Amino acid sequence: MKNVIIKQVYAVGMHHSGVRQLDVGPIYYCGKEEGNPKDPNAIAVYEDKNLRHRLCYLRREDAAKLKDIVIYARGPCYLRAKFGPEKFSRFKGPQQNCNIGFIFNESEATVLAAILNGAFIHTIF
């Protein structure tokens, strides 16, 4: 088994669930949210490993690129906030820079690296 860390993925919508931001440091978990009528590629961020208490979502652009990548995950993906939320525009809410990671089979390393190259800053180890 190998690990991959994908950097500079943004979490959004924290204020809709009652939390103003994700705490920097703790590990959160994320998974594809099936049946989301507004975004079929939606990836939600959860407080617990069982993916029960949703806190926010990954930014729509990041989720669209990650949809072909998270299928390689063996178990839940984990997420860690790197900085506090930033506001980039007056038309969008705050976004929080995070890293996402997961474990995958070593036999899929070359396929996964080919998908990740050019799409994300990443480390495979």
pLDDT tens digits, one per residue of 24-63: 989 999 988 888 898 999 999 999 988 888 899 999 999 9
Distances (CA, A) of 27 to 48, 63, 77, 113: 9, 19, 10, 24
Whole-angstrom distance, CA of residue 59 vs CA of residue 53:
18
- State residue 17's pLDDT score: 66
pLDDT (tens digit, 9 = 90+) per residue, 59-105?
A: 999 999 898 888 888 888 999 999 888 777 777 778 899 999 999 98
Stated pTM of the model: 0.86
State residue 21 phi and psi, 5-degree precision. -165, 165
Whole-angstrom distance, CA of residue 117 vs CA of residue 93:
29
